[in-house]
Amino acid sequence: MISPKEAKSIIDKYIIKLGTESISLSNAGNRILAEDIIAPFPSPQFDNSAMDGFAVRSKDIENATNENPTKLKLVGIASAGNPFEKELQVGECIQCMTGAKIPLGADSIVMVEHSSGYSESEFVKIMKKPIPEQHIRKKGEEIKKGELLISKGVSISPNEIGVCATLGYGKVLVSKKPRIAIFGTGDELVEPGSNLKEGQIYNSNLYVFTELSKHFGAEIIMKNIIKDNKESLKLFLSEALKTCDIVISSGGVSMGKYDYIRDVFMEIGVKEHFWKVAQKPGKPLFFGSTSDSLIFGLPGNPVSSFICFVEYVYPVIQEMLNEKKNSKIIATLKNDFPNEKQKHRFLFGRSWIDDNGELMCSTTNKIGSHMLSSSLSANCIIEAPRANLNLKAGDKITINPLNWRNKYDYN
């Protein structure tokens, strides 16, 4: 058997790049940006008022006080989108609303609270000496023209949507979504919502695969539960390999009597690259390819398939999308970790930051590969290479944060 590191190295050799497409900004949420976002203009584009008040020449009112206010002639109004087009002269001011362009000649904003207020009067009394450039947002103070704001490879969130809209990007270039086919096999599998008969279980893996695929930015094109029948399986796979970039099976790649998916893969022309990986859970992990598709045969046990999807399929989706990858990190164990002598070990875990600011982690209480409820309290996958001795509390260990959960809790 090969190690997880060797398995991932093999997979990397066959990853297919999918290209890009231009889409409306309104449809760009959760897509992966395929272009750098460069500011086409500065922001603000012009000096503008940060307050409601009056635009003034500061030297005209340098002696203004509450006891001895300075009187200025009101010559106009400026509001956002409606600038005052003339140059301010000695002894003049204008009403200037928040966001309004600062007129020529003005160099400061006096808050309305420091004046006689808005009225129909021809003159305004200023009660406080301003500081030059006070309450003025300067041109380009936030963003310079030509500045790189968002690098390609970023997952587009409301944050990026807002900045792109601010800069006038009506469309953005994004990576095409990987098209995925998922299927499970077994006469015992029943859809949630149906009544179980003796010996049957509900299909959970395909629901997990679907949500993980969506979260990771892929698109489910085909999805099916196939009974233990080779011909039905061949029909599904033949269509899946024509239309999808990734094909994922749940179960059927182990050593049981009805575990014949691997054989069918071979019969329809899939090239096998490996079948077993020295890891727990997830030893029966198949990976193969055709000229246009990658094929993963994941174990049937729910924890095994969940962890294998995150550890092996997700990095492929990221690479196809040219998404920036998050690195695994090191944490300190709060409890002992059960190593395996011959296998790399993965377990669901919980990470948090303690009172001393140290990143801690612990395994969940349930560690069986069939115990999917162990994922409920998990926000990471904890892993360790094979070793003769268990890791002890206080030892360092690698964790892979599950990025759809809160990354860390705080004790």
The CATH number of residue 194's host domain is 3.40.980.10
In a domain, 152, yes or no: no
Query: Would you state the pLDDT for residue 408?
Result: 52
Contact yes or no for 229/268 (Cβ under 8 A): no
Query: Would you state the pLDDT for residue 192?
Result: 87
Question: CATH number for the domain including 360?
Answer: 2.40.340.10
Quickly state the pLDDT bin for 186 (edges 50, 70, 90).
confident
Average pLDDT over residues 171-193: 91
Residues 370 and 310 in one domain: no
CA–CA gap between residue 325 and residue 276 (Å, rounded):
26
Please give the DSSP secondary-structure letter assigned to residue 170: S
Query: Would you state the pLDDT for residue 252?
Result: 67
**Residue 94: in which H helix or E strand, if any?**
strand 92-96
- pLDDT of residue 71 exceeding 90, the answer is yes
CB burial class (10 A; 0-12, 13-18, 19+) of residue 95? Answer: buried
CA–CA gap between residue 150 and residue 163 (Å, rounded):
9
Lowest mean pLDDT among 155-164, 192-201, 258-267, 339-348: 258-267
In a domain, 73, yes or no: yes
Cβ neighbours of residue 151 under 8 Å, at least 6 residues apart? Answer: 33, 36, 324
Query: Would you state the pLDDT for residue 409?
Result: 56
Quickly state the pLDDT bin for 280 (edges 50, 70, 90).
very high
Q: Which of 305, 321, 337 is the last residue of a domain?
A: 321
Query: Would you state the pLDDT for residue 406?
Result: 64
Q: How many of the other CB atoms lie within 10 Å of CB of 90?
A: 10
Average pLDDT over residues 186-197: 85
Residues 38 and 168 in one domain: yes
Query: Would you state the pLDDT for residue 211?
Result: 95
| Averaged pLDDT of the chain | 93
Q: Which of 265, 290, 321 is the last residue of a domain?
A: 321
CA–CA gap between residue 18 and residue 34 (Å, rounded):
11
Query: Would you state the pLDDT for residue 254?
Result: 56
Question: CATH number for the domain including 24?
Answer: 3.90.105.10
Query: Would you state the pLDDT for residue 366?
Result: 77
- pLDDT of residue 327 exceeding 80, the answer is yes
Check residue 322 and give left, alpha or beta (phi > 0: left; psi -120 to 50: alpha): left
CA–CA gap between residue 37 and residue 32 (Å, rounded):
12
| Residue 296 structure tokens | 């993963």
CA–CA gap between residue 6 and residue 141 (Å, rounded):
50
SS3 of 261, please?
helix
Q: Give alpha helix (H) positions in 167-244.
A: 205-215, 230-243
Quickly state the pLDDT bin for 251 (edges 50, 70, 90).
confident
Global pTM reads 0.86
Q: How many of the other CB atoms lie within 10 Å of CB of 10?
A: 14
Residues 257 and 368 in one domain: no
- pLDDT of residue 87 exceeding 60, the answer is yes
In a domain, 143, yes or no: no
Residues 276 and 214 in one domain: yes
Q: How many domains does the chain have?
A: 4
Beta bridge partners of 108: 56
Query: Would you state the pLDDT for residue 27?
Result: 97
CA–CA gap between residue 210 and residue 191 (Å, rounded):
14
CA–CA gap between residue 244 and residue 320 (Å, rounded):
13
CA–CA gap between residue 234 and residue 228 (Å, rounded):
11
Residues 251 and 282 in one domain: yes
CA–CA gap between residue 201 and residue 383 (Å, rounded):
29
- pLDDT of residue 258 exceeding 60, the answer is no
Query: Would you state the pLDDT for residue 279?
Result: 97
- Domain span at residue 98? 48-137
- pLDDT of residue 30 exceeding 90, the answer is yes
In a domain, 56, yes or no: yes
